Structure 1
């Protein structure tokens, strides 16, 4: 995400803020991926940014962000988010 333009990062941030303060909301901004994982969807000039997150209590925890070029969420990006979700859940249970 650091390689994106300032405008693109601002758009993503605004969508995350909308999701955070409007939770729970659905499509087209938020899509549930699986149990405990949702994605914020931001349309950019060069693709579609996705920020995968989870919700623990009243906290929105961002797990992984990327710009996707294809229709389907790349498997490695989903695996990264799942791994980080596991870490969040482990820390939350301590």
Structure 2
């Protein structure tokens, strides 16, 4: 039987105190926010997970893949010492990950690592 960790979930916080992923989630229709929240919770209580819900992007960076009614959401995150940090969230509009979204998540991850 595979052991699962229970992760603490935190939102990435900017220097100005904003939590972009929390703000993005709150801007979504309630039903979509709920689906994404349930997917985050599944990862929180079942880590480590793989496809189809979680995909590793690169070392230290993963995505949660949430299927909504007529679109797809992604939440990019990292895990450090049993803490899951939600770095960036977006609605996916193409097959490939948009470079701007990946770049933003990498930048936030780099900032997070520098501040630890």
TM-score category of the 2 structures, normalised to the smaller one = over 0.9
Which residue of the partner structure matches residue 102 of structure 2? 78
* Residue 30 in structure 1 maps to residue 54 in structure 2: yes
Aligned-residue Cα RMSD (Å) equals 0.8
Query: Counterparts of 1:51-62 in structure 2 under 5 Å?
Result: 51-62=75-86
Question: By how many angstroms is 1:3 displaced?
Answer: 3.1
Question: By how many angstroms is 1:5 displaced?
Answer: 0.8
Aligned residue pairs total 92
Which ranges in structure 2 are unaligned for 5 or more consecutive residues?
1-23
Instruction: Using structure 1 for the length normalisation, give the TM-score.
Output: 0.94
Question: By how many angstroms is 1:55 displaced?
Answer: 0.3
Question: By how many angstroms is 1:82 displaced?
Answer: 0.1
Which residue of the partner structure matches residue 72 of structure 2? 48
Which ranges in structure 1 are unaligned for 5 or more consecutive residues?
none
Aligned to 2:55, the other structure's residue is in SS state strand
**In 2, Cα distance between equivalents of 1:67 and 1:3:** 12
The CA deviation string for residues 55-90 of structure 1, in whole angstroms up to 9 with x for no partner, is 011100000000001110100000000000001101
- Pick aligned residue for 1:21 from 26, 30, 45: 45
Instruction: Point out the structure with the larger strand share.
Output: 1
Regions of 4+ moved over 4 Å: none
Which residue of the partner structure matches residue 91 of structure 2? 67
Structure with the bigger RCO (C-alpha within 8 Å, sep 6+) is 2
